[in-house]
């Protein structure tokens, strides 16, 4: 009886949280320009209700009355997640939770306007407020042997400390910088697309991509947003993209990336029940799905050659005459400004920079007033290029505006997981490359359903990946994949 009461309460809380998520989706895709002030009040009011439900004093009573020896693995995970959610929520004052929700809604519009104007000073005061609130949240949740940043990162990668993440990325970095240097010295000419890539044609083409990856349109939709994202779960898993008429790959690979997220959400068993165990395992696991769709599959030689004639049919002359050259254009390696447009060699260097900067912001070692110059200095050191505008620099990502501190490193962890999983798929699925070349992705996607998607949060993320691959995670599979792919492309 106590277990049933607990689950009924949690499901209603999750339903309200999903309503809040729909408000966020609407703000980024449909909301009138002048709706920001009201939306901040909406979000604050919703968070007030959610916080009250998450800290309901009946929760520990229900949990203590449950005979956990009678529960199955899914039910035990539901109880464990309920306990963790209650413990975290009760540490945070209600007024702080509401203030964070309200500021996130306000901050997002302020960030978008500052990005459009190319002026970091327009956003800096709001970011200062956000960091102050996130420090308060982290301090309330901090355990004796963890940092403030650890408390925040646990929301996205439960069970992994920032020290472990730092060590993993530190092992990755030398191999990336060595590969980048060899490519830079190769003297290979850059291959680029050219042609008419107007917005209407791009969006028409973009709508053909999700079904290639088994996205269920009856359980989703696609819209435009300033910063592409996936929203929702189960039977309502929405994706967004953006369009640059100078760079159609931004749209194409944003769609494929977000479809990776959505296909995961659409295939978690019983996700529509809204119980805690039927939620994604972690953001690192989530990113592994989107990054694999985008990179190991979507940027592979086989898929590029499959996509090439479809691009020609959609856009006419695109400036390259063969699938081989199209593959090279997709995989150009260069020190670009924008993380979401970065090639696979540079992408993790973008993440490492953000990881270091946001840890310094949360610890207090870096002030917001010095953030833009710190970003520009680090970018020049890592990429050898001067940042030309805040919109291409410190203002390019939405994450800090909505308080997502601790999220960035999960992108690189996702790349590491993706490489591990894809290597296992290559060993397991006969002629995987041939299936990708034919655009028949049912078998690899079903493999992911069986080994990753269906489990939701029943297993801890590290255990989930280890069970799927047969060994503990390391950076080696990613470095092997990158060196083989770009070594062949650039002859290095």
Give the SS3 label for residue 279: coil
Place of tokens 């960035």: 408
> Which of 176, 177, 154, 179 lies closest to 165 in space, CA to CA?
154
- Among 263, 299, 283, 223, smallest CA distance to 447 is for 263
What is the average per-residue pLDDT within 430-445?
97
User: Residues 133-145: what's their mean pLDDT?
Assistant: 93
pLDDT on residue 227: 85
Name the active-site residue from 28, 98, 137, 258: 258
Q: What is the pLDDT of residues 228-257, one digit of tens each?
A: 999 999 999 999 999 999 999 999 999 999
pLDDT band at 340 (very low <50, low <70, confident <90, very high): confident
Supply the Cα-derived Rg of the chain in whole angstroms.
22
- E strand or H helix at 12: helix 2-29
**What's residue 144's pLDDT?**
81
DSSP-based three-state secondary structure for 230: strand
| pLDDT tens-digit map of 267-318 | 999 998 999 999 999 999 999 999 999 999 999 999 999 999 999 999 999 9
Taking the alpha carbons at both ends of the chain, their separation in whole angstroms is 65
pLDDT tens digits, 154-207: 999 999 999 999 999 999 999 999 999 999 999 998 999 999 999 999 999 999
Say what angle helices 283-291 and 409-428 make with each other, to 10 degrees. Answer: 60
pLDDT higher than threshold 80 for residue 331:
yes
Name beta bridge partners: 231: 238
Percent of the chain surpassing pLDDT 70: 100
pLDDT at 63: 97
Q: What is the mean pLDDT of residues 437-455?
A: 98
- pLDDT of the residue at 423: 98
Residue 332 has pLDDT above 80, yes or no: yes
| Choice between 210 and 105, residue whose per-residue pLDDT is larger | 210
Burial of 151: CB neighbours in 10 Å, binned 0-12, 13-18, 19+: buried
- Tally of CA atoms within 13 A in the half-sphere of 443 that contains its CB: 15
pLDDT per residue as tens digits for the range 33-44: 999 999 999 999
What's the confidence (pLDDT) of residue 226?
87
The secondary structure of the chain in percent helix, strand, coil, rounded to multiples of 5, reads 70, 5, 30
Q: Give the residue-averaged pLDDT of 436-459.
A: 97
pLDDT band at 341 (very low <50, low <70, confident <90, very high): confident
Percent of the chain with pLDDT over 90: 96
- Average pLDDT value over all residues in the chain: 96
What are 383's two structure tokens?
């990429």
Q: Check residue 143 and give its pLDDT.
A: 86
Q: What is the band of 68 on the pLDDT scale with cuts at 50, 70, 90?
A: very high
pTM: 0.95
The reported pLDDT for the residue numbered 455 is 97
Query: Catalytic annotation on 47?
Result: no
Structural domains of the chain, with CATH: 2-141 (no CATH), 162-490 (1.10.1370.30)
pLDDT confidence tier of residue 145, bands split at 50, 70 and 90: confident
């Amino acid at each position: 009886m106590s277990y049933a009461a607990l689950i009924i309460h949690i499901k209603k809380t999750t339903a309200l949280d999903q309503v809040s998520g729909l408000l966020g989706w609407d703000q980024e895709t449909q909301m009138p320009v002048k709706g920001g002030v009201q939306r901040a009040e909406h979000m604050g009011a919703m968070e007030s209700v959610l916080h009250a439900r998450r800290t309901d004093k009946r929760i520990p009573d229900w949990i203590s009355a449950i005979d956990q020896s009678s529960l199955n693995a899914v039910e035990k995970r539901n109880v464990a997640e309920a306990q963790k959610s209650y413990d975290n929520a009760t540490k945070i004052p209600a007024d702080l939770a509401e203030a964070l929700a309200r500021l996130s809604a306000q901050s997002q519009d302020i960030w978008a306007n500052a990005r459009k104007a190319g002026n970091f000073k327009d956003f800096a005061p709001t970011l200062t407020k956000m960091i102050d609130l996130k420090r308060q949240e982290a301090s309330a949740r901090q355990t004796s042997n963890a940092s403030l940043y650890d408390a925040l990162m646990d929301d996205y990668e439960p069970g992994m400390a920032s020290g472990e993440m730092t060590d993993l990325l530190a092992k990755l970095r030398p191999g990336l910088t060595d590969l980048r240097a060899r490519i830079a010295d190769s003297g290979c000419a850059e291959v680029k697309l050219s042609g008419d890539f107007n917005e209407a044609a791009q969006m028409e083409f973009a709508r053909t991509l999700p079904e290639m990856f088994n996205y269920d349109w009856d359980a989703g939709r696609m819209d435009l947003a300033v910063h592409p994202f996936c929203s929702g779960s189960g039977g309502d898993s929405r994706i967004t993209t953006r369009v640059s008429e100078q760079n159609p790959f931004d749209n194409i690979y944003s769609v494929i990336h977000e479809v990776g997220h959505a296909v995961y959400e659409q295939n978690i068993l019983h996700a529509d029940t809204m119980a805690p165990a039927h939620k994604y395992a972690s953001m690192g696991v989530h990113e592994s799905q989107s990054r694999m769709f985008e990179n190991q599959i979507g940027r592979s030689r086989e898929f590029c050659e499959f996509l090439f004639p479809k691009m020609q049919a959609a856009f006419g002359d695109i400036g390259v005459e063969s699938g081989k050259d199209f593959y090279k254009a997709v995989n150009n390696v260069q020190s670009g400004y924008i993380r979401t447009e970065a090639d696979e060699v540079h992408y993790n260097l973008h993440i490492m920079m953000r990881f270091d900067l946001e840890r310094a912001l949360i610890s207090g070692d870096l002030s917001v007033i010095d953030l833009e110059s710190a970003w520009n200095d680090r970018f020049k050191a890592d990429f050898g290029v001067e940042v030309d505008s805040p919109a291409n620099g410190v203002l390019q990502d939405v994450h800090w505006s909505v308080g997502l501190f601790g999220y960035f490193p999960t992108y690189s962890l996702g790349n590491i997981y993706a490489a591990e999983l894809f290597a296992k798929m290559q060993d397991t699925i006969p002629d995987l490359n041939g299936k990708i070349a034919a655009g028949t992705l049912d078998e690899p996607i079903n493999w992911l359903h069986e080994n990753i998607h269906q489990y939701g949060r029943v297993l801890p993320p590290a255990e989930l990946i280890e069970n799927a691959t047969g060994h503990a995670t390391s950076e080696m599979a990613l470095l092997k994949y990158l060196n083989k792919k770009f070594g062949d492309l650039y002859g290095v």
